[in-house]
Amino acid sequence: MPSPSYDAFDEKDLGAQVLLSQFKLKTSGDAVTVRQAVARYMKEHGASALNVTRFATAVSEIARNAIVHAGGGEFSIYVDPKAKRLSVVCWDKGPGIEDVALALTDGYTSGGGLGRGLGGAQRLAQKFEIRTAVGGGTSVLMSMNL
């Protein structure tokens, strides 16, 4: 996938994190795969059941958004072993988000859904950041402590 046209997340955003896995997102089955990978890693490293459920749900929603709204994307999982933090970056080359504040509002939808996904993911993750460019794609960085 070519580089996005906005300021993508890079090493300075991720700090001392180590790349664990990368996935292509094309189908709903791919969203399930990344959700399961994140949940498995968190469980193996002692995260509470509540944090596993919260973060896996956020991951699933963001991955699904890339598939539904952008036709697919890429998903990477990182860990910072010293800080005991798991981070994910999901990015696509879709249409971008014209108004991020509006898109995070409960009830807003651009695709006929319930309008809870993006804002819900933001509430479920301990860190949540979006970078986007209209016509140039979207990248989401989320983190959760283990």
How confident is the model over 79-115, as pLDDT tens digits? 998 889 999 999 999 999 888 888 888 765 666 554 4
Which superfamily, per CATH, for 17-145? Answer: Histidine kinase-like ATPase, C-terminal domain (3.30.565.10)
**If you average pLDDT over every residue of the chain, what do you get?**
88
Give residues with Cβ within 8 angstroms of 81, minimum separation 6.
18
* Closest of 118, 97, 98 to residue 107, by C-alpha: 118
Confidence of residue 60 (pLDDT cuts 50, 70, 90): very high
Least confident of 1-10, 83-92, 128-137: 1-10
- Residue 42 and residue 99: Cα distance in Å, rounded? 32
* Whole-number pLDDT of residue 48: 96
Q: How far is CA 100 from the centre of its chain?
A: 15
Span 39-64, average pLDDT: 96
pTM here? 0.88
Q: Where are the domains of the chain?
A: 17-145
| pLDDT greater than 90 at residue 50 | yes
